[in-house]
């Protein structure tokens, strides 16, 4: 289940990609399949080990084209272990709402992104996320949980302040908002509640089968209740230096 829309965020074979806060690796895997040179970075050692195993399995199964590379590594988003301008593309999906120093993370992403490079940022959308916070303290008051809810204009202003130029936005995963509302209403750790179990089965069926009806429904509902807000931006080229 991808949050970044690669039709709006084009990726070329050979692009150097950083998936920052990669989690289970869903975007990193897609970039690898598209022929990129991928680095998946996260502070969670257990998830990084699993991502590395999947990279190896994908390579063995021939799922990535020739020339594609993939590395999984632990790292700190506030102190990235890469030189300036190391990447053509940076993706950070559902991460910034967890980090106190979001301006510091943006500064590090801009530093390692080459001029002319592209960045995709996704965060929980304000409206659906506010419902979750209202229904359940346990949803966000946990170690490593969400510490803020971004409004779209607030996130875009953060992006501009970091020196990036936004060029597009959209919403995603409308069908997932009701699931999380149910989880929050019945208890975030209560997976046995009948409405939660029933809706989870619907989501799994949708992800596996990708039926036209649910794709159309989600596309129609995304502007209203999409769970995620997605922003795309570029790093401007530096103005030419006057030799005189």
DSSP category for residue 76: B
pLDDT score for 77: 96
Q: What is the pTM assigned to this prediction? A: 0.94
Q: Which pLDDT band holds residue 242 (cuts at 50, 70, 90)?
A: low
Q: Residue 201: CB partners within 8 Å, gap ≥ 6?
A: none
Residues 6+ apart with CB under 8 A from 69: 37, 38
Tell me what the mean pLDDT of segment 195-209 comes to: 94
Fold for the domain defined by 75-172+225-233: Rossmann fold (3.40.50)
Supply the mean pLDDT for the chain.
95
CA distance 232 to 230: 7
- Please state the rounded mean pLDDT for residues 38-57: 97
Residue 77: which residues within 8 A CB-CB, separation 6 or more? 20, 21, 41, 43, 92, 95, 99, 105, 108
Q: What is the pLDDT of residue 240?
A: 58
DSSP state letters, 46-96: HHHHHHHHHHHHHHHHT-S-TT-EEEEEE-BTTB-SS-TT-EEEEEEES-G
pLDDT in tens, 99-156: 999 999 999 999 999 999 999 999 999 999 999 999 999 999 888 889 999 999 999 9
What is the pLDDT, as a whole number, of residue 141?
86
Domain boundaries, the chain: 75-172+225-233
Residue 143 is predicted with a pLDDT of 82
Average pLDDT over every residue of 209-233: 96
């Amino acid at each position: 289940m991808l949050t970044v829309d690669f039709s709006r965020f084009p990726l070329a074979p050979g692009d150097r990609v950083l998936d920052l806060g990669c989690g289970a690796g869903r975007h990193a895997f897609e970039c690898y399949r598209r022929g990129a040179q991928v680095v998946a970075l996260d502070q969670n050692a257990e998830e990084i080990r699993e991502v590395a195993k999947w990279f190896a399995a994908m390579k063995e199964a021939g799922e990535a084209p020739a020339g594609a590379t993939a590395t999984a590594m632990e790292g700190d988003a506030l102190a990235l272990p890469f030189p300036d301008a190391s990447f053509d593309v940076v993706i950070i999906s559902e991460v910034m709402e967890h980090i106190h120093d979001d301006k510091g993370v943006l500064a590090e992403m801009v530093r390692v992104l080459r001029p002319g490079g592209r960045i995709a940022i996704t965060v929980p959308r304000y409206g659906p996320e506010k419902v979750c916070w209202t229904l359940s303290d346990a949803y966000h008051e946990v170690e490593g949980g969400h510490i803020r809810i971004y409004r779209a204009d607030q996130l875009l202003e953060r992006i501009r302040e970091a020196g990036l130029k936004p060029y597009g936005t959209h919403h995603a995963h409308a069908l997932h908002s009701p699931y999380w509302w149910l989880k929050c209403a019945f208890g975030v750790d209560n997976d046995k509640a009948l409405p939660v179990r029933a809706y989870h089965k619907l989501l799994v069926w949708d992800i596996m089968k990708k039926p036209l009806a649910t794709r159309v429904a989600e596309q129609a509902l995304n502007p209203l209740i999409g769970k995620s807000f997605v922003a795309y931006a570029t790093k401007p080229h530096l103005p030419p230096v006057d030799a005189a």
